[in-house]
Structure 1
């Protein structure tokens, strides 16, 4: 994973060095609608969306007309909810996401296709169980724990609509290509994160 991180930095530096126009810095935020894709192991349960959010910074580096390199650094919450006869279980995972995106302008409008790889670094996991008698909550800082992989590689595809030269509206779908762990259990099932998101961005 260190090699992937070094490659990400290398792509960022190369894009900046070859930029044909000034680099634009931006901020962005939005709503996450995450769920999971269950893998092998103990997965005899149903899940639903656990709403969350994302917020962070972006760069917009023009490579050629109509094509930009737009890396981001985001704090994002993911996870899922699961209901049973005993109550509702909610798992919320917090990540630092590093999408390395190509933005391709479509026609003469403000619509852009965004696509590229994403590296995600797990920071913490919060588990919450609620029933008619009360609730219990556990927060785990993912430093020494081996329950989850600390970094995951995935991909992202979506759109960005430039309302004007500063403000944009965007929607996207992100999917981890790797499982959260190798040996699932009833407490920590094997799965891959998937996230639909909508939000706004502002470039300075």
Structure 2
């Protein structure tokens, strides 16, 4: 190994150690506006959007200090959609029904975040990266109103075992796929150790179980979120 290669290797090691010494961990949470696509083109209907929340922990691992970071995390995130038919004010002529699907996931985002410093303690950022999620809970509910007579009910969501780690998926049409994955796009600002971010998550996997026909690609998660967070430690 030449002296030049030794110097370059030591320099690269020094940069890596310096970057990792600035690693921070933090908490983050906020509001979700979730939906599920209604056709193979990935379209959604605004009337079906469902409010929810996300909460979790993140790490900020500098790759290039103050310029580029890797931000993995673990979040509890609610998703889903709702669907309404009929006329609630005239249920005798047009019976009314509302159906709500509200699954909850443990989600692991793996985002790469580019930062634009605006001063010693402020920067704007934009990020992109994949996410992997596992369904853990959730409810499906219905409400009906027919000729003035109301009805309602709810049940826990049934999940299949279709994950990358299981060869026996136990799929069925009355279940949801437990494993979901997709991509995240985000923008935001970091002020001192505080974060505020807007993010859009695009699911790439169908949410309904028992649908393996490649021509049927509808029914994927879409989530817009606004979150705030705090990173512990120095910059």
TM value normalised by structure 1? 0.79
Structure 1 unaligned regions, length at least 5:
1-15
Q: Indicate which of 147, 158, 176 corresponds to 2:203.
A: 176
Paired residues of 2:37 and 2:219 also in contact (CA < 8 A): yes
How big is each residue's C-alpha offset from its partner over 1:149-204, in whole Å with a ceiling of 9 and x where there is no partner? 2112200001121122x1111101001111113529xxxx9500000000100111
Q: Where does structure 2 lack aligned partners over 5 or more consecutive residues?
A: 1-15, 87-95, 162-169
The higher radius of gyration belongs to 2
Matches within 5 A, 1:36-185: 36-39=36-39, 48-65=48-65, 66-85=67-86, 86-108=96-118, 110-132=123-145, 133-140=150-157, 142=159, 146=171, 147-164=175-192, 166-181=193-208, 182-183=210-211
Query: Displacement, 1:134?
Result: 3.0
Distance (Å, rounded) in 2 between the aligned partners of 1:25 and 1:176: 26
- Superposed CA RMSD: 2.4
Structure 1 residue 110: Cα displacement: 1.4
Confirm or deny: 8 A CA contact 1:36 1:47 kept in the other structure.
no
CA distance in structure 2 between the partners assigned to 1:162 and 1:51 by the alignment = 25
Distance 1:19 1:117 in 2: 23
| Paired position in structure 1 for 2:223 | 195
- Where is the strand percentage greater, Structure 1 or Structure 2? 1
Distance, in Å, in 2 between the alignment partners of 1:18 and 1:143 is: 45
